[in-house]
Amino acid sequence: MIGYILKRLGLALLVALAVSAITFFLLRLSGDVALAIAGEGAQKEDLDLIRKTYGLDRPLVVQYVDWLWQTLQGDFGTSLYFKTDVSRLVLDKLPTTIILGFTALGFALLIAIPLGVLAAVYANSWIDRLALAIAVVGQALPNFFFALILVMVFSITLRWLPVSGSGTWLHFIMPTIALGYYVAPAFMRLIRAGMIEVLSADYIRTARAKGLPTHKVIFKHALRNAVVPVVALTAVQLGFLLGGSVVIETIFALDGLGYLAYQSITYKDFPVMQVIVLLLSILYVLLTLASDIANAWLDPRIRVA
């Protein structure tokens, strides 16, 4: 197990390296940093001066190695737009996005688990069809459109929630729902399919033969086994949520990493973009690793080998 984890961490490192290189070259080849610093319409002499000062006239590979070396030493550079430390900036915004990620995930599971279980237990009943309808709509509805519908209903019509901004927990409600509903269908389908399979297992009959009450049969014996693949999906979906947070945080002007990413992109703030993409990649790889470990831990056949 330890060997496996070390191997995966090594892979994570390689992936992070590859991602950093890809983003660096992709961004540098598609945009001009000097122009971003000087602003549109700058004179050629000024641009040349900037290139010289910042070392942008060196070959890209050299610049990349230089950047990598500084990053490894913990120096993530300075934001071109916000004029502050990138690490400071990112660390300030990260908690908001992490909170949003987990509340959205919680919301998704909160609707997906009960509906998925009920849909499986009462397969082909009206509740199964209702769950299916909720899932199908959730998959088809673009999340930004759904977010705007929420704003229309809860902020403009009912005036219950603030339209945008951050600061209070009220600001998190609509982003949580918009982002959570976006990932809930996948969970719901997986739980329903898993439960249907598990409910016909022999050990469920054994549990019923023991005279256990229905809720114990379903939640202790069935759900425990049906939930294993859900853990693997959770990591993938958290990655999805991090990506989705760019759109949702921007709509609600929620001051997290996603909104920062959007701002840095519109202001062509290279150092910030680079670090955010790298950070999200590392988070994703670590999440999949965590889910693999959780998966192994959940399955005694792997854990107790």
Partner 1 sequence: MTDTILSVPTVAEATPGMRLARRFLGQKAFVIGAGILTVIIGLALLAPLIAPHDPYAQNLALRNIPPVWYAKGSWLHPLGTDQLGRDYLSRVLYGARISLLIGVSVVLISGIIGTTLGLMAGYFGGKIDLLVTFLVTTRLSMPVILVALAVVAMVGGSLWIVILVLGLLKWDRFAVVMRSATQQVRSLDYVAAAEAAGASTTRIILREVLPNIAPHLIVVATLEAASAILLEAALSFLGLGVQPPLPSWGLMISEAKAYMFFSFWLIAIPGTALALLIFAINLAGDGLRDVISPEGRV
Partner 2 sequence: MSETILDVDGLSVDIATPRGALHAVRDISFSVKRGETLCLVGESGCGKSMTSLAIMDLLPKAATRTARRLTFADEDLGKASRKRVNALRGDRMAMIFQEPMTALNPAYTIGNQLVEAYRQHRNASEAEAREQAVHLLDKVGIASAAQRLGQYPHQLSGGLRQRVMIAMALMCGPDLLIADEPTTALDVTIQAQILRLLADLQRELGIAMVLITHDLGIVARIADRVAVMYAGQIVEEGPTASLFANPRHPYTQGLIDCIPVPGRTVPGGRLGTIPGVVPSLVGEIRGCSFRDRCSHARDICAATVPLKETADGHQWRCILENAV
In terms of residues, how long is the chain?
Answer: 305
* Geometric angle at alpha carbon 125, from 119 and 129, rounded to 5°: 65
Residue 186, both tokens: 């996948």
Count of other CB atoms within 10 angstroms of residue 9? 13
Q: Is 76 exposed, middle or buried (0-12, 13-18, 19+ CB in 10 A)?
A: buried
Binding track over 277-296 against partner 2, x by CB under 8 A: --------------------
Which stretch, 1-9, 24-32, 216-224, 239-247, contacts partner 2 (CB under 8 A)? 216-224
φ, ψ for residue 78, nearest 5 deg: -120, 140
Q: What is the DSSP letter of 210?
A: T
Question: What span, in angstroms and rounded, lies between the C-alpha atoms of 296 and 231?
Answer: 10
DSSP H helical segments within 31-85, as ranges?
Answer: 33-38, 44-54, 60-72
Binding track over 101-140 against partner 1, x by CB under 8 A: -----------------------------------xx-xx
CB 121, min distance to partner 2, A:
11
Number of residues that bind partner 2 (CB under 8 A): 22
CB 192 within 8 A of CB 165: no
User: Could you say which of partner 2, partner 1, none residue 224 binds, taking C-beta under 5 to 8 angstroms by partner kind?
Assistant: partner 2
SS3 call for 45 = helix
User: Could you say which of partner 2, partner 1, none residue 301 binds, taking C-beta under 5 to 8 angstroms by partner kind?
Assistant: partner 2
If one asks whether residue 232 binds partner 2 (CB under 8 A), the answer comes out as no
* DSSP bridge pairs for 78: 85
Angle between helices 170-199 and 86-121 in degrees, nearest 10? 40
Which stretch, 37-45, 51-59, 259-267, 293-301, contacts partner 1 (CB under 8 A)? 259-267
Residue that the structure tokens 């150092």 belong to: 271
* Geometric angle at alpha carbon 54, from 48 and 58, rounded to 5°: 75
Which stretch, 86-94, 166-174, 269-277, 294-302, contacts partner 1 (CB under 8 A)? 269-277
CB 202, min distance to partner 2, A:
4
**Closest to partner 1 by CB, 217 or 287:** 287
Residue 99, both tokens: 């909170």
CB 292, min distance to partner 2, A:
18
Which of 123, 266, 297, 299 binds partner 1 (CB under 8 A)? It is 266
If one asks whether residue 38 binds partner 1 (CB under 8 A), the answer comes out as no
The residues that touch partner 2, with contacts defined as CB under 8 A, are 201-203, 205-214, 216, 221, 224-225, 298-301, 304
The residues that touch partner 1, with contacts defined as CB under 8 A, are 11, 14-15, 18-19, 22-23, 26-27, 30-31, 136-137, 139-145, 148-149, 151-152, 156, 239, 242-244, 246-247, 250, 261-262, 265-266, 268, 273, 276-277, 280-282, 284-285
